[in-house]
Structure formats: structure tokens, C-alpha cells
């Protein structure tokens, strides 16, 4: 997966068993700083271009990151599965992190999250956002609280931030994900979370900073349509539980 390093990245990063997947759709100029930040942590960086039309991915082709391209926009979930498959092609990788392309996740926190992942022997570590910050959009705060409450009720497992996209996954968990979870859009992340709970995988959380644009303008999450997709996955879990009684 790794490529020859550019002059800007002469120092080899220390985390050789960590890969970073960056799903990208029309992130524009925000993408490059994210990729550069990830490359400071690991040489194994995969950018999945999910049918972008803004030319932003062309601006990172000089960087030593692998770029996978989907010919049309298929959704974040599809991009994640493609990125996971690519990352696991490197035998040395034991953990794959996901970082959003729009700069809402601070790549400087990757090393600390990876250390926490290893020390807790986690299969899924979720970067838990601090919703007390003044710059957090109200809709994001409210949506997360509702989904977290519903998830706790249906899954019987309290997870403080069910919708955070800043996550680290073990190799064995990713192999299970690839085998059983089809790609989709934002609901894929909830399906992954449900798989972790039901499969008895070790789930951990650590606090992170989240950097929001005014009005959360960089997000492609559609509040009604995509929230319904996420909740539909949860309701399917409830139906499955009732059917198994």
C-alpha cells in the first residue's frame, strides 16, 4: 500500500501497523491538510474518492497516499468498505482508523487514540466528541443525544457518541465487517456499531476535539434523509429482537 515518500515527508512515521482511511466526497481544499496530517502518523493512508466532482483529489496526487476511486457517488458506507479492503491488503496492519476528509477530525489525535486502542485491547474505539463546546451545532447535539438514547435502549449498551466518524477498528473486526456488512451511506456506520455490540467485540471510547464549520456547512449529512437511514437500521434491530423471542 505504501508509496515512495515525497520531500515534504522525509521523516518516517512511527505507527507502521496503523492505517488511515479517508472517505472523500467534494472536500475541496480541506482534504490536503487532512491527508498530510495522517501521513505524519503513518505511511499507510488510503483516500477513497467517492465520485467527487470538485477536483479536490487532484491536489493530493503528489502525496504518498493511496487513492481509490469510485466512478460515481455511492455513499460513505461504500467508500468505507472499499478503504477497509485496501488497508487490509497490507499484512502488517492491525488497526484501521477512519478520519473525515473535511477537517472535522484532528489528525494530531491519531497517535493517542491508537495508544488507547492498544492499551484497552479494543476492537472498536470511538472518538467521543465533546458536545459542551459552544461551536457545536444544535442539530448535531440533539441528533446525537436522540440516537445515543435509542441505541442504549435497543442494544442494551451505552455508547456515548454513536454517530462519531472518528473510529479505530481491529483487523479481526474489519474482516467480519467486510464479510457481513454491505456498503451504503451513513447508515453503514450504525450497522458496524450494531455488529460490534452483537458480536461481543470490545468497544471503547476516548474524548476528541471536533472542529465544526459555521453552520456545519462542510457536512454532506442530510438531516432528515440520512437520519432516517440510521434510525431504520436501529428499528430493524428491534424487529429482529422481537422475532427471536
Q: From CA 205, how far away is CA 168, in angstroms rounded?
A: 10
Bridge partners of residue 24, in order along the sequence: 49
pLDDT of residue 125: 98
Give the rounded percent of residues in the chain with a pLDDT score beyond 90.
Answer: 59
Q: Is the pLDDT of residue 139 over 90?
A: no
The model's confidence at residue 231, banded by pLDDT at 50, 70 and 90, is low
Across the range 123-128, mean pLDDT stands at 96
Q: What is the pLDDT, as a whole number, of residue 182?
A: 83
Helices marked H in 89-213: 110-119, 138-155, 171-180, 187-198
Residue 158: the pLDDT is 73
**pLDDT higher for 220 or 29?**
29
Quote the pLDDT of residue 133: 53
% of the chain surpassing 70 pLDDT: 69
Q: Rounded to the nearest 5°, which phi and psi values hold at 219?
A: -75, 140
166 contact partners, CB below 8 Å, separation of at least 6: 97, 98, 99, 100, 105, 109, 113, 126, 127, 208, 210
Other CB atoms within 10 A of residue 142 CB: 12
Over residues 57-61, mean pLDDT: 96
The pLDDT value given to residue 5: 44
Going across the sheet that includes 167-170, the strands are 66-70, 44-50, 18-24, 95-98, 167-170, 124-129, 203-208
- Per-residue pLDDT at 163: 82
Q: Where are the domains of the chain?
A: 7-243
- Rounded mean pLDDT, 138-164: 69
CATH topology of domain 7-243: Spore Coat Polysaccharide Biosynthesis Protein SpsA; Chain A (3.90.550)
How many angstroms from the chain centroid is the CA of residue 65?
Answer: 17
Q: What is the pLDDT of residues 73-118, one digit of tens each?
A: 999 999 999 999 999 999 999 999 999 999 999 999 999 999 999 9
Global pTM?
Answer: 0.81
Whole-number average pLDDT of the chain: 82
Supply the pLDDT for residue 242.
44
Amino acid at each position: 500500500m505504501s508509496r515512495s515518500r515525497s520531500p515534504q515527508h522525509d521523516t518516517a512515521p512511527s505507527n507502521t501497523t496503523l492505517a488511515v482511511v479517508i472517505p472523500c466526497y467534494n472536500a475541496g481544499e480541506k482534504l490536503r491538510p487532512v491527508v498530510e496530517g495522517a501521513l505524519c502518523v503513518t505511511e499507510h493512508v488510503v483516500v477513497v474518492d467517492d465520485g467527487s466532482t470538485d477536483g479536490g483529489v487532484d491536489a493530493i496526487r503528489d502525496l504518498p497516499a493511496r487513492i481509490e476511486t469510485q466512478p460515481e457517488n455511492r455513499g460513505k458506507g461504500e467508500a468505507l468498505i472499499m478503504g477497509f479492503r485496501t488497508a487490509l491488503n497490507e499484512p502488517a496492519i492491525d488497526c484501521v482508523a477512519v478520519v473525515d476528509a473535511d477537517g472535522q477530525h484532528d489528525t494530531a489525535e491519531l497517535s493517542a487514540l491508537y495508544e488507547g486502542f492498544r492499551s484497552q485491547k479494543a476492537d472498536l474505539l470511538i472518538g467521543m466528541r465533546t458536545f459542551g463546546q459552544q461551536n457545536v451545532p444544535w442539530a448535531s447535539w440533539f441528533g446525537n443525544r436522540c440516537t445515543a438514547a435509542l441505541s442504549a435502549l435497543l442494544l442494551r449498551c451505552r455508547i456515548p457518541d454513536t454517530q462519531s466518524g472518528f473510529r479505530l477498528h481491529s483487523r479481526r473486526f474489519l474482516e467480519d465487517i467486510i464479510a457481513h456488512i454491505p456498503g451504503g451511506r451513513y447508515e453503514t456506520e450504525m450497522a458496524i456499531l450494531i455488529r460490534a455490540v452483537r458480536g461481543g467485540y470490545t468497544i471503547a471510547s476516548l474524548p476528541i476535539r471536533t472542529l465544526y464549520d459555521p453552520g456545519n456547512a462542510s457536512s454532506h449529512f442530510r438531516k432528515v434523509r440520512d437520519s432516517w437511514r440510521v434510525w431504520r437500521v436501529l428499528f430493524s434491530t428491534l424487529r429482529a429482537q422481537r422475532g427471536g423471542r
